[in-house]
Copies of this chain bind each other. A is one copy, B any other.
Amino acid sequence: MGIKTVYDYVDGHSADFIQDLVRLVKQPSISARGEGIIACAEIVEAMLGDVGFSTKLISTSDEYPVVFGELKSKTGKKTILFYDHYDVQPPEPIEEWKFGAFSGEIHEGIIYGRGVSDNKGNIVSRVKAVESFLKTHGDVPVNVKFVVEGEEEVGSPHLLPMVKNNRSLIANDATIWEFGGTNFEGRPEIYLGLKGVLSVELRTQGATRDVHSANAPLVPNPAWRLIWALNSIKDDQDKVLIDDFYENVKEPSETELRLLVEIPLEEGKIKQALGLKEFLHGKRGNEAKKSLLFSPTCTINGFLTGYVGNGSKTVLPRKAMAKLDFRLVPDQRSSEIFNKLVSHMHQRGFADIEAVQHGSTEPTRTPVTHKFVQIVAEAAEKVYEKKTIIYPTSAASGPMHLFRNLLDSPVVSAGCSHADAKGHAPNENLTIDSFIKGTKFMATILNDFGEN
């Protein structure tokens, strides 16, 4: 099949594509508070149906259906799956938006709105890539499946049973993950993995009520207990002290390490944006990149005890609570780390501190040497005409492992976003140029995967 005619179709119909994207952005779909979810799922389903997909809503959780779409190729044998999500982050702080968060307004070639980059632009670009093939060739080079979920921004709590219960329905030969785009120099960036995450809350209680701090010689203070427990978990060099925490950490391969050199880390810009003189422990260059991508971490997300208003209050609090997340790397497992944490607390004399698991995803990576990686990287170079930057993994987390590990599919994250897209922040945006190029990029992947 000739890809040039597909590109021409994309260029010729860009106004329609943009209109469809704006319509999708205008539909709020805030999973954190269940706002507009069904309505948004229905728009996505209709968009797939209009192109010719057979569709259905898969409801492992009634209020947050997964939109599934399937389109068979007449000639191609292979199957590609696009994983996306139609839900978005809450738009707050509203007052910092230049235009309405759900207005979909376009100014100087940029579309503004919550979700336009993460992840609605990607949904539309992928659907339109398929449409462009069908309209120009009457077929697509490969079978295409879509899994578009509605709970990604709240940790995909129902995706595991969905995948387990629909293995054959969503079986595929390769998966394109939800995100990706170009950096400040316009170079395409693709990602071959995600870290895992284990979210835990530690809780402890002293007396049944707050007491006056004059009683400190006699009444246990749960805040101190939690301080000492946390101190036993990580030292001031950020080394996790839980026994065997690093046992299953797989060292990055030589190939993965070589990719680090190519990865741009805009150290100066990042430090300036965050008001930092230097990164943690003075890390820089390859050392910084290596730790960002390949190190497991333990982060305090929150801590609350006692009186935290203005001034002072001589109170000895009755309870204390801390929230932690552990970022995991292959071959750590969230259940393994949770069990090691609980053992640690018991062995170090902190059996009084309760550990509650809030959520988890597993780390996963697709090998750099996998053929599908090469196809995607080269497809990007054809469209963007710059060398692709390959991240052996992102530092972020998500349910990629369900597709990579349970379905044994190679997974590459690649998309239509750009360096200043402001995902999760006010004034999230997508340039029309990125959106259109991203559509061509997806079409090229369909084409090249079909040929290989």
Chain A positions near chain B (C-beta within 8 angstroms): 155, 195, 197, 199, 201, 206-209, 211-221, 223-224, 227-228, 230-231, 234-236, 238, 270, 274-276, 279-280, 283, 288, 291-292, 295, 297-308, 311-317, 320-321, 323, 325, 327, 349, 358-359, 394-397, 424
Contact = CB atoms under 8 A, between A and B. Distances in A.
A221 B303 contact: no
A299 B216 contact: yes
Contact of A219 (B214, B215, B228, B276): B276
Given A216-B298, A216-B327, A220-B276, 14 more contacts: A155-B312, A195-B214, A201-B312, A209-B274, A224-B234, A224-B238, A227-B227, A301-B314, A302-B308, A303-B306, A306-B323, A311-B359, A312-B325, A314-B325
A197 B312 CA distance: 11
B395 A292 contact: no
A291 B234 CA distance: 32
Contact of A300 (B221, B270, B311): B221
B397 A218 contact: no
A220 B300 CA distance: 11
Contacts of A228: 231, 235-236
Given A214-B396, A327-B213, A301 B315 contact: yes
Contact of A359 (B213, B283, B301, B312): B312
A276 B207 contact: yes
A280 B90 CA distance: 45
